[in-house]
Amino acid sequence: MSSGTPPPAERLRNSLLAALPPEDLAWLRPNLRPVELPFDKTLYPADGALDAVLFIESGMVSLLATLEGGDQVEVGLAGREGLVGLPLLFGDNRSVTEARVQMEGTALRLGAAALGTAMRESAAFRSLLLRYALAFQAQVTLTAACNARHPIEQRLARWLLSARDRADSDEFPITHEFMSMMLGVRRPGVSLAAGVLQKAGLIRYARGRMQVTDQPGLEAASCECYHAVRREFTRLLGGSGRAPPG
């Protein structure tokens, strides 16, 4: 990952950083370093050591749980509404999940020591990050419930809406392999579910590219979990000025 000069405040795209009071942001900015997020890069492995948080500016990162047999399942995702490296907020430098880039993009890196100092010195920064942690916990909780109880087509619709929110575009890259990992089902099940949504005119999928062609229709085809997560992000982080993710 490359590093360089932190961007001017007016160019910040991360919702958490953009929501900070100017004086808090002014202290943080010299400690922020831009980094690239290449597609499929593992930012940190499960049980790997964490030395920084990454405030995502563009792209999307998936948090993956790895089972004993090697199977992986997505349990959470983050885009420019948040960050990765949550354990560091609570003084822990290990994560039970792997963080892997699923849409290439960029982020701003804040080292663990600077993070700790900022959280001690700034009540606004500390409160904002803890509220994000609660919102992310709600996302993970509802994802678990959704994957356990809802039909594959509804789960796929929910995830595609969430991915679209973070891509800021109706079209984005995605593979059958990752859709299978995200849903926790085998590839034939993913193909069948995608086929149902495509036949209904809600999406178009070809050669690793997904296009949402009818967002209202896709929302209607999704379960309630998409809007439930958005409501929780709005409740906890509504002051960020960004539309919350699903």
The span from the CA of 147 to the CA of 151, in Å, is 8
The span from the CA of 34 to the CA of 106, in Å, is 7
Residue with token string 């983050």: 78
pLDDT value at position 183?
A: 79
pLDDT value at position 244?
A: 56
CA 156-84-186 angle, 5° bins: 30
Do 172 and 213 contact (CB within 8 A), yes or no?
no
Please list the residue range(s) of the chain that carry CATH number 2.60.120.10: 9-137
Q: In this structure, how many other beta carbons lie within 10 angstroms of the beta carbon of residue 171?
A: 12
The span from the CA of 245 to the CA of 176, in Å, is 22
Please list the residue range(s) of the chain that carry CATH number 1.10.10.10: 151-222
Strand bridging mode 32-37 / 98-111 = antiparallel
Phi, psi (rounded to 5 degrees) for 81: -75, -10
CA neighbor of 108 nearest in space, from 53, 165, 45, 40: 53
Burial of 123 (0-12, 13-18, 19+ CB in 10 A): exposed
pLDDT value at position 10?
A: 55
The contacts of residue 83 (CB under 8 Å, 6+ apart) are 14, 16, 53, 54, 55, 56, 129, 132
DSSP state of 5: P
Distance of alpha carbon 239 from the chain centroid:
19
Element (H, E) at 64: strand 52-66
Distance of alpha carbon 71 from the chain centroid:
20
pLDDT value at position 241?
A: 40
> What topology is assigned to 151-222 in CATH?
Arc Repressor Mutant, subunit A (1.10.10)
Which CATH number is correct for 9-137, 1.10.10.10, 3.40.50.12780, 3.90.470.20, 2.60.120.10? 2.60.120.10
**Digits of tens for pLDDT over the chain (246 positions)?**
344 555 555 578 999 999 999 999 999 999 999 999 999 999 999 999 999 999 999 999 999 999 888 888 899 999 999 999 999 999 999 999 999 999 999 999 999 999 999 999 999 999 999 999 999 999 999 999 998 899 999 999 999 999 999 998 999 998 888 888 777 788 888 889 999 999 999 999 988 899 999 999 999 999 999 999 999 999 999 855 444 566
The contacts of residue 113 (CB under 8 Å, 6+ apart) are none
| Terminal-to-terminal C-alpha distance of the chain | 28
pLDDT value at position 5?
A: 55
Residue 201 region by backbone torsions, left for phi larger than 0, else alpha for psi between -120 and 50, else beta: left
Q: Is 182 helix (H, G, I), strand (E, B) or coil?
A: helix
